[in-house]
A and B are shown apart, each in its own frame.
Chain A
Amino acid sequence: MGGAKKEVIVCRCEEITIDEIREWIDRGCDTINELKRILRVGMGPCQGRGCHDIILRELSRWLGTPIDQIEAGTVRPPVKPIKTGLLASEGGEPAWSGKTGQTS
């Protein structure tokens, strides 16, 4: 073999490698959510579409736990990235009062 060890990127948005994921599984992170918190895997623009299932498989293999017994990562809205300018133009009376600019 020889040569530099090849880095395997699992989360492309945040550039997280398989070795980093394995290191934190070893330290006790046995859920996708904990790996997200410490490594930011699945926190980028794709929101885990690219890496979620790979990490799930890795957790299953590393822990010796069937994949269906491993907690899936939390999926949060808005699911697909949306421009704030588009959201801001959404009509209707907001239940949330943005008081900015009032001089009361």
Chain B
Amino acid sequence: MEWKDRADVVIIGGGIVGIATAYYLARFGRHDVVVVEKGTVCSGSTGRCGAGIRAQWGTEMNCRLGIAALDIFENLDAELGMSVGLNQGGYLLIAYSDSEFENLKKGIALQNGLGIKSKTVTLSEAREICPALDASDATGFVYHARDGHADPFLTAFAYLEAAKRIGVSYHKRTECTGITVKGGRATGIDTSRGHIDADVVINCSGACSQIVAKFAGVDLPNWGERHEIMITEPVEAGVCPPMLMSFSGNYYIQQRPHGSIICGMSPAGHPQDFENKTTWQFITAMSRVLNRILPVTKEIRIVRHWAGLYDMTPDGSPIIGETDVKNFYHSTGYSGHGFMLSPIAGKVLAQQLTGNTPDIDLSVLDYRRFARGELIMEPHIT
């Protein structure tokens, strides 16, 4: 793609958050957008994620973002002209103690008030949703039928192809090495291929976002946390129709329409590093959990195992908006949920940057909340 040394908007990070933001900017009229990506399309956290999409959250902001993202996902194939592999088998959340079940029920009260039709289900109803489920030791179940998962690769490529058609440039193997700030305003970025002048700079660099923010003298409290995932050979449909997830049980399990089962769990010790390395201990421990929850999986084979980084913030909520440096914006800190929130986050930030009224007021997600001590603690995460 032709190199330009000046753009209206430059986006650092070509994962799903950066790509979706670029697409909506162009759709709302700012076509001169350049995305720089140090790897290749989906080489970072987007292509390594668990692919879930849910509206069952414990904070009002995440609920609003989650249901709005679902609204977009449900129409995305038609909008982008390519399938994104959406599968709405619902999220079945499983509690293993009374207190955990009570917390999930508090979440339902919040969600129902925001138009999210989540509900408690009984063990027998849970087994209708997921016939292979063994959860006789569970205390309770909650379910939202519109939740599910999509294909992060297809979604990213679909947004990218649509964005390119309306003017967006995407440069892979192009690493951001600096941000130019003059008179308190961002005026461009340095990259491994040269300088680009820009009126607006957006940091969408996921687990690297605190490093990138520092280029402009902005301190973010983010850190990268390594998580592992594995996937099985494709098997017949119906082994795991919903996304099964438990916060205390520490697992999520889903089956793609194409038949493979994807599952993950949060790491002991929550390793903070930038190495996407994998451990043998993960696949043995994860296999034990998988066999326990879905005993029919014992004869199913693992074909692949990988790791990726969660872009964590101290409260588990994202950071979206302008910084103390004018024209320098963040869309980061999704804490393991960037894929599912990317359509609405990209759309709303683009609305702000094109003079349109945002679908959702994101001002509480300003990064200065940490300095003010106004954290938005998200309870519905592992």
Contact of A64 with B by CB under 8 A: no
Contact of A69 with B by CB under 8 A: no
A96 to chain B: closest residue by CB: B285
Contact of B96 with A by CB under 8 A: yes
The complex places the Cα of A83 from the Cα of B261 at a distance, in Å, of 13
Question: Are B302 and A98 within 8 A (Cβ)?
Answer: no
Question: Are A37 and B302 within 8 A (Cβ)?
Answer: no
Question: Are B305 and A98 within 8 A (Cβ)?
Answer: no
Question: Are B232 and A84 within 8 A (Cβ)?
Answer: yes
Question: Are A101 and B137 within 8 A (Cβ)?
Answer: yes
User: In the complex, which residues of chain A have a beta carbon less than 8 angstroms from the beta carbon of B137?
Assistant: 101, 103
| Minimum CB–CB distance for B97 against chain A, Å | 5
| Minimum CB–CB distance for A98 against chain B, Å | 4
User: In the complex, which residues of chain B have a beta carbon less than 8 angstroms from the beta carbon of A88?
Assistant: 284, 287-288, 290-291, 298
Interface of chain A residues 57 through 104 with chain B (CB within 8 A): 76-78, 81-85, 87-88, 90, 92, 94-104
Question: Are A98 and B288 within 8 A (Cβ)?
Answer: yes
Q: Contacts A28-B1, A96-B265, A103-B137 given; indicate if A76 touches B306 (C-beta within 8 A).
A: yes
State which of A44, A90, A103 has its C-beta within 8 Å of the C-beta of B97.
A103
| Minimum CB–CB distance for A60 against chain B, Å | 17
Q: Size band of the B side of the interface? A: 35 or more
Contact count A vs B, C-beta below 8 Å: 133
Interface of chain B residues 123 through 172 with chain A (CB within 8 A): 137, 139, 153-154, 157, 161, 170
Q: Size band of the A side of the interface? A: 35 or more
B228 to chain A: closest residue by CB: A96
Question: Are B40 and A31 within 8 A (Cβ)?
Answer: yes
Can you list 15 A-B contacts with CB-CB less than 8 angstroms, sorted by A residue number? A31-B40, A34-B40, A34-B42, A38-B157, A44-B233, A44-B303, A77-B283, A81-B303, A84-B300, A85-B298, A88-B288, A98-B251, A98-B286, A98-B292, A100-B96
Interface residues of chain B, those whose CB is within 8 Å of chain A, are: 1, 40-43, 47, 96-97, 137, 139, 153-154, 157, 161, 170, 232-234, 246, 248-251, 258, 265, 267-269, 278-293, 297-306
The 10 A-B residue pairs whose C-beta atoms are closest, nearest first, are A85-B298, A81-B301, A96-B285, A87-B287, A37-B153, A94-B285, A88-B287, A84-B287, A90-B284, A95-B281
